[in-house]
Amino acid sequence: MSAEVPDIDIARAITMISREDVRLLDVREDDEWEAGHAADAEHVRLGDLDVSAFAGPGTVVVTCRSGNRSRKAAAALVGAGVDAVNLDGGMKAWAEAGHPLIRDDGTPGTVV
């Protein structure tokens, strides 16, 4: 039985991550992250996720390319007692809504 994970849309995610007690977690693979990510996101590949690293107060908004891998990560977090939500549509929705993506060197990025 998997944990119930709330899906949130991009507008709600943007509102949430503007607060200090909310973390944005990107669980895509390294090449996807390197192509472009949200400026304030933390990167941990889904296969490397240690749910204990996210224990404590606050909410974790989890994202990937389209929302499928992030739903799995968010379910693992919720199952461990972490307040986590899934960004419906992932970084594709982020980019389609006109929010910036950057590469590690600060240049504009893209979703691959």
Catalytic residue among 64, 74, 82, 87: 64
> 């200090």: which residue's tokens?
20
- Tokens standing for 62? 């989890």
Cα gap 2→98, rounded to integer Å: 33
Q: CA–CA separation, 104 vs 63, rounded Å?
A: 18
Is 83 among the catalytic positions? Answer: no
Structure tokens at 21: 């007690």
Please report the beta strands in the chain, taking only residues with DSSP state E, as ranges in sequence order: 7-8, 22-26, 42-43, 59-63, 83-87
Which are the catalytic amino acids?
A: 64
